[in-house]
Chains A and B, each alone.
Chain A
Amino acid sequence: CGFHLSSTAEIPEQFKTLTFYSADPYGQLAREVKTALRDNGVTITEDHLNQNIPSLRLTGDNMSKNTISIYQDGKAAEYQLILTVDAQIVIAGDDIHPITVKIFKTFFDNPAAALAKDTEQGMITREMYQQAAEQLVRKLKSVDVAEQKQNP
């Protein structure tokens, strides 16, 4: 049915080398994004001044936790965690492309095992950061197409 090994690289040519910026460079999200970039063959340089190297900037992330289903006694059965990551690809210093990634996860709460549930939430949060990083990398392709359409 016409499938072949993926030729278009996950990472467009112009993003093979990137500078990376995050306000919290050693936080979990930044670490996961750097790992995801490296796993996809991107070299991260520190040469921030060189403007013809595009830069991936993490501008903000927010985790919200809300009740999504309840038991008969009105207490929360499931919580939904939504991780929103806002980033930008800056090309040639001023051409800014915003990227937004959202990860949805639900988990059951249980007041009888508060610590276990809190630990589970911490673990799920880690997984969400990893999935957000992977999705961020996947979105580089669409930024590349958008940028080429903008200034061919």
Chain B
Amino acid sequence: NNTEENRPEISCLDQQCLANVPVYTKPLVEGDIKTLPVEVETDTFTASAPNTAVYEGNVVITQGNRSVEADKVTIETKEDQSRVVTISGDINYLDNVVTLQGEQASMNLDTNDIEIKNSQYHLVGRLGRGQASQLQLESNRYITLKDGSFTSCPVDDNSWNIQGSTVIHDNEEELVEIWNAVFKIGPVPVLYSPYLQFPVGDRRRSGLLIPSFNYDSIDGVNIATPFYWNIAPNLDATFTPRLIQRRGVQLQTEARYLTSLGQGVFALDWLHHDSLYNKDRRDPEIDTGDNKERWLFHWEHKGLIDQNWRIETDMTRVSDVRYFTDLSSNYGSMTDGYITQRYLLGYANNNWDVALSSKSFQVFRSTLKDNMYRTVPQLDIRYYSNPFDSVKFNTYAQAVRFTSPGVRNPEITRLHIAPTVSYNVSNQWSMFNADATLLATHYYQDVPGNNYSVLQKDVNRVMPHLNLDGRIIFERDNIPFLDGYTQTLEPRIKYQYIPYRNQSRIQNTDSSLLQSDYAGLFRDHLYSGLDRIASANQLSTGLTTRFYDNNLVERFNFSLGQVYYFNKSRTGDLSSPLDQNEDTGSLTWATDGFWRVNDNLIMRGGLQYDTRIDEVALANGVIEYRASQNKLAQLSYRYANKNYIDAIGLITNSPYKQDISQVGLMASWPLTDTLSVVGSYYYDTKLEQSSDSFIGFQYNSCCWGFSVQYGRKITDWNASTQTSQYDNKLSFNFELRGLSTNRNTTAKMLDFGLLPYQSAFEEN
């Protein structure tokens, strides 16, 4: 919770790694190096005219943060008053950035540069060392090595190192660049690259360039070798050629940019010839496109221009419906049923929020492709009156044009305006809000072939919406067994009235029946969007209780509520289950809660009961124990009733006709300081089959890490055998460590399957 600072988790492994890393103990000296005096201690000193001074015998020079020990030092003052220092014999240099050892060196007192022959170096305060035939330290920032080497392994560990004709450490950018780089594991050269660059520290995006190896039963071996290119301070790109054994060679490119109009990412993945896909295309069972190349294009942009103007895009397009099933990508997952292409230009200030946008989708089931609707364009206008007065006048208006690739689908233009007057009063123990809204909508529905038997060409729908919403907070301090705790009891009651309007002559493009958790009981509408506004004469009541500890941190809360329908909620659209049900009275119940048992243990849960199907509609629960980033265990259960899924209009074809009763266990546990096991197992109790599971082992030493993971998951549905199709995947991952504060490799492993790890804790 928020009162503890989140202590940086320095694992005991990191402490061992940093055991013999040089540390700069003296207080940092600020100031320009030119003005700092040079103190020299020596056994003997000889100064002879006109300008040479020779120090001999355990010479120690200190200037500002730098100190040099050597056997002999000569300082010559040149005509231009610059002084060149020649150092020889068992040299030992230390400053707050790097330590150097060598035999022969020269130093310029005014420019702070040092040049040292066949030397060893070690970064100060972190891992990073190597040697060089010739090393130069410039302006306390760049370390340039000729025929040098670099590794982040501790002093006594030579697991890997990278040699290069030129190695440059930039200690401000925290970046290492190596030309003609030879990557060696132990003595064995493994990889050559004309240029290598990676971060040393946390400033730079990780452009880690170490190949990753995967094997899965469908694609075979999969090798990716990323190349990071830092084009400009505000533009960098990563190119990742990926060899997929049974498919072909794919090139994944990603470019990140930063401009005055905002920042964003472009990504293009291109697989010219996919042999496995070409085989799939000949199989009528498999739903593929008629394309040969397989590509993905993604563009994401977020721009806020002087706080009022907003430019946002978030679009992904792929070459065919099976793209994410066959190929992995950061911009979509195999579980996606569709992807979105969204563009938005907005202006907002205190009173107005205007946004012009367009949305389109690419649906991954050819049978459903045609009933997809796009909004091209959509204009949303929100007006907020002065927020201070208790009577507010807000308005929402929208103009949108719906088009669809389905040739039989009408093209619809919808104009909507909803002025709201609201009166709100609150004090420390209560809140009351009453508002009245007028919902006025006009439809112009252009049905192909002018077949207006069902839909109507011009439709107007005007309906008021009244709301009375009140809550009170009761509180008590003396709770048995929990001294110092405070408990609140927060009853809430909300009445809503919306008259019935027959909307059966209106095409439903953007409305779907909403699932109501506890908060949903008090929602204004039962449907999303505007095409279906259900009549309402209902009373929602609920009770929330919270327990605060003696630091007033919320440790536990539990809510229970219901909605009482005085009469039937209808829209006139008989295809919707809402209309098909005649019941009134208290139909929907919902409860949810959380309990933060202690810093490492938390529970969350929720349940929704719907009398219209007379069963529990939805239920879920999660218990998580978490001691650290890689010591955690989470047990979860999710239930969704088949009739309920049917009721909210999801069931369209066979694979969905099922209850969901999914038990999941996900854990990561350190076996030793360096070895930990990561695993997950999700099992559907109704179908009695596992849906997604993996097991993985992770070995981390100071400067490298290796993980192996084996997983099995559902990838498709075999209509003929009416069974789920599985794919199993074995993945090896080699990684350099010790460069930046080590990335949470456990998190990456926990995202291996279809169902990634999502922590139930508040702070991540």
Given a CB threshold of 8 Å, the question of whether A touches B is answered with yes
Q: Is the CB of B510 within 8 A of A72?
A: no
Residue of A nearest to B428 (CB): A9
The verdict on B44 contacting chain A, using a C-beta distance below 8 Å, is no
Contacts A105-B517, A144-B552 given: A39-B431 contact, CB under 8 Å?
yes
The answer for the CA separation of A117 and B430 in the assembled complex, in Å, is 35
Q: Contact flags (1/0) for B457-488 with A, using CB distance below 8 Å?
A: 00000000000000011111110000000101
Q: Distance in Å from the Cβ of B127 to the closest Cβ of chain A?
A: 29
The verdict on B585 contacting chain A, using a C-beta distance below 8 Å, is no
Size of the A side of the interface (Cβ < 8 Å), in residues, is 75
With a cutoff of 8 Å between Cβ atoms, the chain B residues found around residue A78 in the complex are 638, 640, 660
The verdict on B359 contacting chain A, using a C-beta distance below 8 Å, is yes
Residue of A nearest to B402 (CB): A115
Q: Distance in Å from the Cβ of A46 to the closest Cβ of chain B?
A: 12
With a cutoff of 8 Å between Cβ atoms, the chain A residues found around residue B724 in the complex are 72-74
Residue of A nearest to B528 (CB): A120
Q: Distance in Å from the Cβ of B21 to the closest Cβ of chain A?
A: 30
With a cutoff of 8 Å between Cβ atoms, the chain A residues found around residue B655 in the complex are 71-73, 75
Q: Is the CB of B475 within 8 A of A3?
A: yes
Q: Contact flags (1/0) for B707-744 with A, using CB distance below 8 Å?
A: 00000011111000000110000000000000000000
Contacts A110-B512, A123-B528 given: A75-B335 contact, CB under 8 Å?
yes
Q: Is the CB of A72 within 8 A of B336?
A: no
Contacts A74-B724, A115-B509, A116-B509 given: A3-B476 contact, CB under 8 Å?
yes
Q: Contact flags (1/0) for A141-152 with B, using CB distance below 8 Å?
A: 111111001000
Q: Is the CB of A108 within 8 A of B429?
A: no
The verdict on A52 contacting chain B, using a C-beta distance below 8 Å, is no
Kindly name the residue among A3, A40, A64, A77 whose own CB sees the greatest number of chain B CB atoms within 10 A: A77
The verdict on B426 contacting chain A, using a C-beta distance below 8 Å, is yes
Q: Distance in Å from the Cβ of B335 to the closest Cβ of chain A?
A: 4
With a cutoff of 8 Å between Cβ atoms, the chain A residues found around residue B337 in the complex are 75-76, 109-111, 114
Q: B429 contacts which of A1, A6, A77, A98 (Cβ < 8 Å)?
A: A6
Q: Distance in Å from the Cβ of B684 to the closest Cβ of chain A?
A: 8
The verdict on A25 contacting chain B, using a C-beta distance below 8 Å, is yes
Contacts A70-B691, A116-B529 given: A6-B650 contact, CB under 8 Å?
no
The verdict on B361 contacting chain A, using a C-beta distance below 8 Å, is yes
The answer for the CA separation of A93 and B489 in the assembled complex, in Å, is 36
Residue of B nearest to A135 (CB): B554
With a cutoff of 8 Å between Cβ atoms, the chain B residues found around residue A47 in the complex are none
Size of the B side of the interface (Cβ < 8 Å), in residues, is 104
Contacts A39-B424, A67-B754, A105-B517 given: A118-B359 contact, CB under 8 Å?
yes
Kindly name the residue among B335, B340, B489, B660 whose own CB sees the greatest number of chain A CB atoms within 10 A: B335
Q: Contact flags (1/0) for B240-268 with A, using CB distance below 8 Å?
A: 00000000000000000000000000000
With a cutoff of 8 Å between Cβ atoms, the chain A residues found around residue B551 in the complex are 142, 145-146, 149
Q: Is the CB of B363 within 8 A of A141?
A: no
The verdict on B652 contacting chain A, using a C-beta distance below 8 Å, is yes
With a cutoff of 8 Å between Cβ atoms, the chain B residues found around residue A141 in the complex are 548, 552
Q: Distance in Å from the Cβ of B546 to the closest Cβ of chain A?
A: 8
The answer for the CA separation of A82 and B757 in the assembled complex, in Å, is 12
Contacts A9-B428, A74-B754, A107-B515 given: A146-B645 contact, CB under 8 Å?
no
Q: Distance in Å from the Cβ of A41 to the closest Cβ of chain B?
A: 7
The verdict on A91 contacting chain B, using a C-beta distance below 8 Å, is no
Q: Contact flags (1/0) for A110-136 with B, using CB distance below 8 Å?
A: 111111111110010001000100000
Q: A6 contacts which of B387, B488, B762 (Cβ < 8 Å)?
A: B488
Q: Is the CB of B307 within 8 A of A110?
A: no
Q: Is the CB of B638 within 8 A of A72?
A: no
With a cutoff of 8 Å between Cβ atoms, the chain B residues found around residue A75 in the complex are 335-337, 655
Q: Is the CB of A115 within 8 A of B374?
A: yes
The answer for the CA separation of A66 and B656 in the assembled complex, in Å, is 19
The verdict on A49 contacting chain B, using a C-beta distance below 8 Å, is no
Q: Is the CB of A142 within 8 A of B514?
A: no
The answer for the CA separation of A5 and B491 in the assembled complex, in Å, is 12
Contacts A114-B361, A143-B2 given: A69-B755 contact, CB under 8 Å?
yes
The answer for the CA separation of A39 and B374 in the assembled complex, in Å, is 37
With a cutoff of 8 Å between Cβ atoms, the chain A residues found around residue B473 in the complex are 5-6, 10
Q: Distance in Å from the Cβ of B507 to the closest Cβ of chain A?
A: 11
The verdict on B384 contacting chain A, using a C-beta distance below 8 Å, is yes
The verdict on B692 contacting chain A, using a C-beta distance below 8 Å, is yes
Q: Is the CB of B620 within 8 A of A106?
A: yes
Contacts A72-B717, A74-B724, A78-B638 given: A111-B476 contact, CB under 8 Å?
no
Q: Distance in Å from the Cβ of A44 to the closest Cβ of chain B?
A: 9
Residue of B nearest to A35 (CB): B387
The answer for the CA separation of A112 and B424 in the assembled complex, in Å, is 40
Residue of A nearest to B658 (CB): A72
Q: Is the CB of A115 within 8 A of B476?
A: no
Among the stretches B167-175, B187-195, B217-225, B348-356, the one at the interface with A is B348-356
Q: Is the CB of B428 within 8 A of A41?
A: yes
The answer for the CA separation of A109 and B361 in the assembled complex, in Å, is 14
Q: Is the CB of A38 within 8 A of B512?
A: no
The answer for the CA separation of A71 and B334 in the assembled complex, in Å, is 12
Q: B428 contacts which of A10, A76, A99, A107 (Cβ < 8 Å)?
A: A10
Among the stretches B31-39, B60-68, B365-373, the one at the interface with A is B365-373
Q: Is the CB of A120 within 8 A of B687?
A: no
Residue of B nearest to A24 (CB): B304
The verdict on B519 contacting chain A, using a C-beta distance below 8 Å, is yes
With a cutoff of 8 Å between Cβ atoms, the chain B residues found around residue A106 in the complex are 515, 620
The answer for the CA separation of A72 and B725 in the assembled complex, in Å, is 9
Residue of B nearest to A76 (CB): B335
The verdict on B3 contacting chain A, using a C-beta distance below 8 Å, is yes
Q: Is the CB of B604 within 8 A of A104?
A: yes
With a cutoff of 8 Å between Cβ atoms, the chain A residues found around residue B529 in the complex are 115-116, 119-120
Q: Is the CB of B512 within 8 A of A113?
A: yes
Residue of A nearest to B369 (CB): A111
Q: Contact flags (1/0) for A28-68 with B, using CB distance below 8 Å?
A: 00010011001111000000000000000000000010111
Please name 10 further chain A to chain B contacts, defined as beta carbons within 8 Å, in addition to the given A72-B724, A77-B645, sorted by A numbering. Answer: A31-B353, A69-B660, A76-B336, A78-B660, A84-B764, A97-B3, A111-B337, A113-B649, A115-B361, A139-B554
Q: Which residues of B line the A interface, CB within 8 A? A: 1-3, 5, 304, 307-308, 310, 325, 333-338, 340, 348-350, 353, 359, 361, 363-365, 368, 371-375, 384, 387-388, 402, 424, 426-431, 472-478, 486, 488-489, 508-512, 514-515, 517, 519, 523, 528-529, 548, 550-554, 604, 620, 638, 640, 645, 648-650, 652, 655-656, 658, 660, 662, 684, 687, 691-692, 713-717, 724-725, 754-756, 758, 760-764
List 21 A–B pairs whose Cβ atoms lie within 8 Å, in order of A's numbering: A2-B477, A7-B475, A26-B350, A26-B353, A39-B424, A70-B755, A72-B658, A73-B714, A73-B717, A75-B335, A75-B336, A78-B638, A82-B758, A100-B762, A102-B761, A104-B604, A108-B515, A111-B363, A116-B511, A118-B361, A142-B553
* Cβ-closest 6 pairs across A and B: A111-B337, A73-B717, A26-B348, A120-B528, A116-B512, A9-B428
Q: Which residues of A line the B interface, CB within 8 A? A: 1-11, 23-27, 31, 34-35, 38-41, 64, 66-78, 80, 82, 84, 97-102, 104-120, 123, 127, 131, 138-139, 141-146, 149
